[in-house]
């Protein structure tokens, strides 16, 4: 499928023409206008002491040397947004691998660090993930995840694009990274800036603010990740909701960890590999220690603390340091039957739960026998654990006692009007 056809399919012919007219005012003949946009975006982020991740089409990067490189020093990560801005589901595995490898070489030639990838149009397939892994990427952020916060502004255009993206519902799937066969998969949250401006046509800052603040509140309550999508060229239209979201995130306690996508991927991979030790276990008293990345913490609920701790929220306390001593009526870990699906144990450990294989369910606060466990079962299981009143010790999902995470990210499809026009010719 050619680039014009795929863009028309995603936006509709009228919307595509309307966006083309709007875009013509957001890019210049030279990259100077985008340079000023990035400077403004980085300045806003700097006020909140945070950075962002901007996946950029590699062909545009290669044509405009020296434009984006300096922003790495301002806490901006650049990821690959395809070598060309094309639909990767229309490419073979070999073609995708060649595009990824070529993109990584181009980044290296310009001395830009390259760790992650996001598909144009958020369209990916199994070959994409395999090729991204083979090419040596740390993470992929191509899976659209739609939050149910748009009831009073929803439009057929928004529903259409969710289907085009292959987005899944956050009501069914957690907004969390997953370490999957050598690649960290990080979801991309919707609605994003394109939804606010093009799909819902929101005009006031208040109406824009509400949607992103609602997503932030939900991810915070669940302890999950909000990947806030804002294309840099729309900073003038969406700076107010960005500021409102960052301001709210900085005010919350326990805190929100605001980080780039590469930092989130590195943390998730390292924390999943953390090791937990048990000592002095007499069936009632437990000495628990953790060895892992800096910032890893131990949380517990429904136990009698025998070592220093601090209240974390209304349910959990956080250990002071990397070890704790406590007393509990049952083992404050999650018991899993030997016949349960291997993915169940892997998923629980990625969430920071301490898992033990057991044949007797009476010894643990929670015992699971799930021979069949799939992605669709993750959200219900997390709710079951969160709503339970059994004793439980777990690792913090995010570093340094953070309750949830937020990452600002937005694709750079082009740096000049020429880059944007060449997209429709596969360049």
Q: Give the pLDDT score at 4.
A: 47
Q: Which H/E stretch holds residue 144? A: strand 144-146
Please check the confidence at residue 425 and state whether its pLDDT lies above 70. Answer: no
Q: What is the pLDDT of residues 401-422, one digit of tens each?
A: 999 999 999 999 999 987 777 7
Q: How confident is the model at residue 23 (pLDDT cuts 50, 70, 90)?
A: low
* Average pLDDT value for residue range 307-333: 95
Q: What is the pLDDT of residues 179-234, one digit of tens each?
A: 988 999 999 999 999 999 999 999 999 999 999 999 999 999 999 999 999 999 99
Largest Cα separation within the chain, whole Å, is 73
Q: What is the pLDDT of residues 254-274, one digit of tens each?
A: 999 999 999 999 999 999 999
Q: Please give the DSSP secondary-structure letter assigned to residue 255.
A: P
Residues of the chain above pLDDT 90, percent: 86
The secondary structure of 159-183, three-state, reads HHHHHHHCCEECCCCCCCCEEECCE
Please check the confidence at residue 49 and state whether its pLDDT lies above 90. Answer: yes
Residues of the chain above pLDDT 70, percent: 92
Q: Could you give the domains of the chain? A: 3-252+405-423 (3.20.20.370), 275-401 (no CATH)
Please check the confidence at residue 18 and state whether its pLDDT lies above 60. Answer: no
Q: Please give the DSSP secondary-structure letter assigned to residue 424.
A: T
Q: What is the pLDDT of residues 237-252, one digit of tens each?
A: 999 999 999 999 999 9
- Mean pLDDT, the chain, as a whole number? 93
- pTM to 2 decimal places: 0.93
Give the residue among 29, 54, 180 at the shortest CA–CA distance from 112.
54
Q: What gap in Å lies between CA 275 and CA 149, rounded to an integer? A: 38
* Average pLDDT value for residue range 137-145: 98
Long-range pairs, 158-165, Cβ under 8 A, ≥24: 158/191, 158/195, 158/199, 158/200, 160/12, 161/10, 161/11, 161/194, 161/195, 161/199, 162/190, 164/9, 164/10, 164/121, 164/123, 165/10, 165/121, 165/122, 165/123, 165/190
């Amino acid at each position: 499928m050619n680039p014009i056809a795929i863009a028309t399919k995603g936006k509709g012919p009228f919307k595509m023409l309307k966006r083309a007219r709007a875009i013509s005012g957001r890019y210049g003949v030279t990259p100077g206008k985008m340079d000023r946009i990035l400077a403004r975006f980085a300045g806003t982020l700097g006020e909140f002491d945070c950075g962002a991740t901007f996946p950029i089409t590699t062909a545009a990067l290669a044509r405009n040397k020296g434009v984006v490189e300096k922003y790495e020093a301002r806490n901006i990560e650049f990821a690959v947004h395809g070598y060309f801005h094309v639909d990767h589901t229309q490419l073979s595995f070999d073609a995708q691998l060649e595009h990824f490898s070529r993109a990584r070489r181009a980044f290296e030639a310009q001395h830009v660090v390259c760790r992650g990838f996001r598909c144009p149009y958020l369209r990916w397939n199994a070959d994409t993930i395999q090729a991204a892994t083979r090419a040596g990427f740390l993470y992929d952020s191509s899976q659209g995840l739609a939050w149910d916060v748009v009831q009073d502004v929803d439009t057929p255009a928004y529903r259409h694009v969710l289907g085009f993206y292959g987005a899944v519902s956050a009501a069914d799937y957690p907004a969390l990274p997953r370490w999957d066969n050598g690649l960290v998969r990080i979801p991309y949250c919707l609605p994003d800036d394109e939804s606010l401006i093009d799909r819902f046509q929101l005009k006031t800052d208040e109406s824009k603010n509400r949607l992103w603040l609602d997503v932030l509140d939900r991810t915070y309550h669940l302890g999950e990740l909000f990947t806030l999508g804002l294309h840099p060229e729309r900073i003038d239209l969406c700076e107010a909701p960005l500021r409102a979201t960052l301001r709210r995130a900085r005010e919350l306690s326990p805190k929100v960890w605001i980080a780039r996508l590469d930092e989130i991927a590195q943390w998730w991979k390292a924390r999943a590999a953390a090791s937990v030790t048990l000592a002095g276990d007499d069936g009632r008293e437990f000495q628990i220690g953790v060895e892992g990345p800096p910032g890893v913490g131990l949380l517990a609920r429904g136990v009698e603390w025998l070592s220093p701790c601090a209240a974390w929220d209304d349910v959990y306390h956080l250990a002071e340091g990397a070890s704790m001593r406590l007393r509990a009526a049952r083992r404050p870990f999650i018991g899993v039957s030997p016949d349960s699906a291997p993915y169940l144990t892997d998923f629980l450990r990625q969430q920071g739960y301490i898992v033990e294989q057991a044949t007797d369910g009476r010894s643990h606060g929670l015992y699971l026998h799930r021979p069949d466990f799939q992605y669709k079962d993750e959200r219900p299981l997390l709710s079951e654990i969160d709503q339970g009143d059994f004793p439980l010790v777990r690792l913090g999902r995010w570093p340094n006692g953070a309750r949830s995470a937020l990452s600002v990210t937005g694709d750079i499809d082009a740096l000049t009007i020429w880059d944007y026009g060449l997209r429709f010719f596969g360049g």
